[in-house]
Amino acid sequence: MPKINKYTDISEVERESKKDYIDRHSPFIHCENEAKKGEKFSVTVKMGNEYSHPDDFDHYIANMALYNGETLLARADFVAGTLGNEKNHAEVTFNIVPTTSKLKLVAQAYCTKHGVWESTPVIVAVD
């Protein structure tokens, strides 16, 4: 089983190079904090907050996945060069339809050089 790296609060990290490494490999979830049951709900997953990730033939974000707890909801795969072979923020918007009373959203992303990275969970209330 691959090691899963998790986001560390970069305000607690001293070295700038470590902040860059952690931030650019961490997926961040962007969505509303409330959803309606049975209606389409948009969730954007973006790689990095302050720092962008490389898009080289041997070092790029190969995929991003969205989970509700342990249930896979959606996944997007990428190839090297998707971002024009330039450092950038890989980003994808998933449209899901909630069927439960709450969502515990977690994103995972796979970097071809540094493995699997997991977001901080985001709780969404469903009416």
Q: 64-87: per-residue pLDDT in tens? A: 999 999 999 999 999 999 999 999
Distance CA(125)–CA(127), nearest Å, equals 7
| Number of domains the chain is built from | 1
Please tell me the pTM assigned to this model: 0.90
Whether the CA torsion 90, 96, 99, 102 is positive or negative: it is positive
Distance CA(34)–CA(26), nearest Å, equals 23
Question: Tell me, what's the pLDDT at 20?
Answer: 81
Instruction: Determine the structural domain holding residue 52 and report its residue range.
Output: 4-126
Q: 41-57: per-residue pLDDT in tens? A: 999 999 999 899 999 99
Q: What CATH number should be reported for the domain holding residue 67?
A: 2.60.40.730
